[in-house]
Amino acid sequence: MKKICLCAAALALLPAAALPQSFSFTADTLARRGNPGELIILDGRIKNLSAQELQIRVIRMQNDLPAGWSTSLCSGDLCFPPFLNFYTIPDTALGIPALAPGETSDFHLNFTTDPTQTAIAAVPIRVENINNAAEFSELTFTASTQPAAVAEMPRGGPADFKLLANFPNPFSAATTIPFEIGGGRPVPVELLVYNLLGREVARVWHGLVTPGRREVTWHGRDHAGRPAPRGLYFYQLRVGAYRQTRAMLLLQ
């Protein structure tokens, strides 16, 4: 009996990538440019790959936007107010049914831009299985009103930055988060921790980082220094418009 229990516990800790994915979250393009003041829309598709109905949660992981900008999550033709950070499929109050086997749900992220200035913004969207939050997929959508020649990331590209797996994971008192910065000069870096609702819990690092590998420690506390509740959290590396997010489990 002990062997069976240990095996079950081990399976519970396997990363979502090691198990068959019950849905896909895809997009034809992750970046789009428009003129200042235009509504920029980026589209995605959520498809049920399983043989059962699926319950899905769509989360805006962060919404750090230029002045005068806002974003809205949309499910099909239904768009939610800018302050709403997530929606669910199904939603009986809004008449949104569960995702049937083989069915696809259209997702849209609307960027409302400021007509008075050029800017760029990147918003990570996470789609997760409500019944298994460890099973998720994330895409980062970027909108720009900058001229095409300046809209590119000023320092390096995704290949120059890498967010690595934290250790230990799961953890109780503290965990170490390593990341790598490429290129040939220091860049401004942020390392943030979010909860399941997409709310920022802690800012683990904020400042210039020289190229190379770095490690920082999160002690499981929020902005106010209070112990964070046990549960699943997400840590995100931010370098310019680049974003990468990974999951970790706090046991205390």
Q: What does the pLDDT read at residue 12?
A: 37
User: Of 85, 110, 144, which closes a domain?
Assistant: 144
Cross-strand partners of 39: 112
- Co-location of 118 and 224 in the same domain: no
- Co-location of 22 and 136 in the same domain: yes
Percent of the chain with pLDDT over 70: 87
Q: Are 54 and 119 in contact (CB under 8 A)?
A: no
Count of domains for the chain: 2
Query: Does 6 have pLDDT greater than 50?
Result: no
Beta-sheet strands, E only, within 90-199: 104-112, 120-129, 132-144, 161-163, 175-181, 187-194
Lowest model confidence (mean pLDDT) among 100-114, 143-157, 173-187: 143-157
Region 139-168 average pLDDT: 68
- Co-location of 140 and 162 in the same domain: no
User: What is each CA distance from 54 to 67, 97, 134, in whole angstroms?
Assistant: 37, 10, 15
- Co-location of 130 and 166 in the same domain: no
- Co-location of 97 and 202 in the same domain: no
User: Of 85, 113, 144, which closes a domain?
Assistant: 144
Of residues 201 and 17, more confidently modeled: 201
| pTM, rounded to two decimals | 0.55
Q: What does the pLDDT read at residue 65?
A: 87
Of residues 242 and 43, more confidently modeled: 43
Rounded to 5 degrees, φ, ψ at 89 are: -125, 110
Q: What is the CATH number of the domain that holds 221?
A: 2.60.40.2550
Q: What does the pLDDT read at residue 134?
A: 81
Per residue in 8-33, pLDDT (tens digit) is: 333 333 333 334 588 999 888 888 88
Per residue in 42-80, pLDDT (tens digit) is: 999 999 999 999 999 999 988 888 889 999 999 988 889
Q: What does the pLDDT read at residue 52?
A: 93
Which tokens sit at 211? 């190229």
The CA distance from 220 to 148, in Å, is: 41
Q: Which long-range contacts (CB under 8 A, 24 or more apart) does 86-89 make?
A: 86/57, 86/58, 86/59, 86/60, 86/197, 86/198, 87/57, 87/58, 88/55, 88/56, 88/57, 88/58, 88/130, 89/46, 89/54, 89/55, 89/56, 89/57, 89/58
For residue 238, the Cα-to-chain-centroid distance in whole angstroms is 11
The CA distance from 197 to 235, in Å, is: 13
Average pLDDT, the chain: 82
- Co-location of 47 and 129 in the same domain: yes
- Co-location of 215 and 246 in the same domain: yes
The CA distance from 49 to 191, in Å, is: 33
Q: What does the pLDDT read at residue 166?
A: 92
Lowest model confidence (mean pLDDT) among 107-121, 156-170, 220-234: 156-170
Q: What is the CATH number of the domain that holds 69?
A: 2.60.40.10
- Co-location of 192 and 242 in the same domain: yes
- Co-location of 36 and 111 in the same domain: yes
- Co-location of 170 and 100 in the same domain: no
Domain span at 118: 18-144
Quick check: is 122 in a domain? Answer: yes
Query: Does 143 have pLDDT greater than 60?
Result: yes
- Co-location of 162 and 134 in the same domain: no
- Co-location of 26 and 119 in the same domain: yes
Q: Are 230 and 248 in contact (CB under 8 A)?
A: no
